[in-house]
Structure 1
Amino acid sequence: MSYMNDYFNSIHTILTGIMNEQEEKLDQAATVMEAAVESGCSLYLFGASHAGIVAEDAFYRAGGLALYNPIFSPSLMLNVEPITLTSKLERLEGFGKLMLDSKPTKAGDVLFIHSVSGRNPVAIDLAIAAQAKGMKVISLTNLEYSKGVTSRHSSGKRLFEVSDIIIDNLGEPGDAAVKISSLSQKVAPTSTIAGSFIIHSITLKLIEKLEEKGKDVPVFRSANLDGGDAYNEEMMKNYKGQIHYM
């Protein structure tokens, strides 16, 4: 028996499923993002608590698209104490709209939201408020999980019900994947690995579309390579109208 082998097999199955079942959705997401980029609009990323790791993984990093703008709140990050505060604030209705309104968002912008269960008000509020502004909402969620729970939002809606494009991470309800013989609770979540694969895959598809049209591709170089700082500074200057985290 090897729990690690079970985890590897679970991850392999999920990533293969994403390739076979979700690629069309990833392409749709990239198409929407490309339209926003070409029209001078902005791309935003959000996730609360562990779901926010995917947003952190995608923005301001070597080999990453420079145009991803995170929507972060310190109270929803994993370094907050007590950590249980993140769970309470995820359920605070109205908080998501406040966060969206704190950014220079406008019609034509795109908001990518990662929420595995898709039931908590912060993500739902963000999606509803973004659509009301004329933004496109792309949600990354677990449809089996989300359809099996009730919404905690007063609208009764879950994230997938207030999104323009829905991407399924194909994980299990509860996220963890490996059954342990001595425990009733499974171990080893899959959503972070799947989510990072998905957002970077969307980025690659977006780059393909920009390249086909002969457009510039604003991607960061490592600041630890010679010339990296100067290259990144010049690129951010050229795209300062679409970068809002500096």
Structure 2
Amino acid sequence: MTDYGFEYLEYAKKIIEKIQDTQYENIKNAAQKVAEAVEKGNSIFVFGCSHAGIVSEELFYRTGGFALINPIFNPTLMLNTRPVTMTSKAERLEEFGRDIIQESPLSEGDVIIIHSVSGRNPVTIDVAIKAKEKNAYVIAITNMKYSTLVTSRHSSGKRLFEVSDLVIDNCGDFEDAAIEMKGFKQKVGPTSTIAGAAIGNAIVVKASSILYEKGIEPPIFHSANVDGGDEFNKKMLEKYKDRIFYM
């Protein structure tokens, strides 16, 4: 009998290997843009709707993470919204994404990482378009197999990968589900959170190494659960307070 749980773990490893083999050049380019922004005194932002927003939560204010990564959270688009089905309706509202970015501190020279699996909904597309109007650099993490098989819900007819400066494919399957169980029509087991977190953290690690090789100390948090961690992080937050917008 097939052990589908084990098969899922094996599949997840293959996804990461495929990202490493096919997307690492784009990850390096993204890291270079992040490092350049940090060096020039700019900030890094990250955005996603619903489950795509989990990557935003992953990348900010955490051990080993960049102090300068600012999540853009809108309550209507997060998973604690009730009823949660409202998130699916809200991310289809055209112009809403433009308003979110207009009211955010994102500015010229900043970098924004936008995570959207299908890349078809108006909010993320408008976020990218408005960010570029502000002269920020837009990095998309998306599922190219999925996105190229669906139409845009935006009036421009464009999907996220078509309005971004740099695109990183999460190498997932159509619908973001990975495992086929015999006799069951619906595939099971999404991979986008695993892939998105791996891509995002790889960008942070590579950007940190680029900065360090230039003699610039990367703005990285310590764990608050080790001795001295709170004091270190307090100094970090004070040092970069003009570029941190989540406090």
- Paired amino acid for 1:17: K
In the alignment, the residues of structure 2 paired with residue 43 and residue 117 of structure 1 have an alpha-carbon distance, to the nearest angstrom, of 23
Match of 2:79 in 1: 78
Q: Equivalent residues in 2 for 1:165-204 (5 A)? A: 165-204=166-205
- Paired amino acid for 2:113: F
> Could you list the per-position Cα deviations for residues 70-93 of structure 1 after superposition, in whole angstroms to 9, with x for gaps in the alignment?
000111111111010000000001
- Paired amino acid for 1:137: V
- Paired amino acid for 1:36: A
Q: CA deviation at 1:215?
A: 0.1
TM superposition score normalised by structure 2: 0.98
- Paired amino acid for 1:126: V
Q: Is the 1:40–1:241 Cα contact (8 Å) retained in structure 2?
A: no
Gaps of 5+ in 1: none
TM superposition score normalised by structure 1: 0.98
> Could you list the per-position Cα deviations for residues 186-227 of structure 1 after superposition, in whole angstroms to 9, with x for gaps in the alignment?
111000001111000000100110011000111111112121
Match of 1:156 in 2: 157
1:88 maps onto 2:89 in alignment: yes
In the alignment, the residues of structure 1 paired with residue 245 and residue 76 of structure 2 have an alpha-carbon distance, to the nearest angstrom, of 20
Q: Is the 1:49–1:76 Cα contact (8 Å) retained in structure 2?
A: yes
Q: CA deviation at 1:5?
A: 2.0
In the alignment, the residues of structure 2 paired with residue 76 and residue 169 of structure 1 have an alpha-carbon distance, to the nearest angstrom, of 21
- Paired amino acid for 1:161: E
Identity of aligned residues (%): 53
Match of 2:23 in 1: 22
Q: CA deviation at 1:39?
A: 0.8
Match of 2:123 in 1: 122
> Could you list the per-position Cα deviations for residues 35-67 of structure 1 after superposition, in whole angstroms to 9, with x for gaps in the alignment?
111111110000100001111011001111111
- Paired amino acid for 1:52: G
Gaps of 5+ in 2: none
Match of 2:8 in 1: 7
Q: CA deviation at 1:240?
A: 1.2
> Could you list the per-position Cα deviations for residues 147-187 of structure 1 after superposition, in whole angstroms to 9, with x for gaps in the alignment?
11000000100000000000000000100101122321111
1:133 maps onto 2:134 in alignment: yes
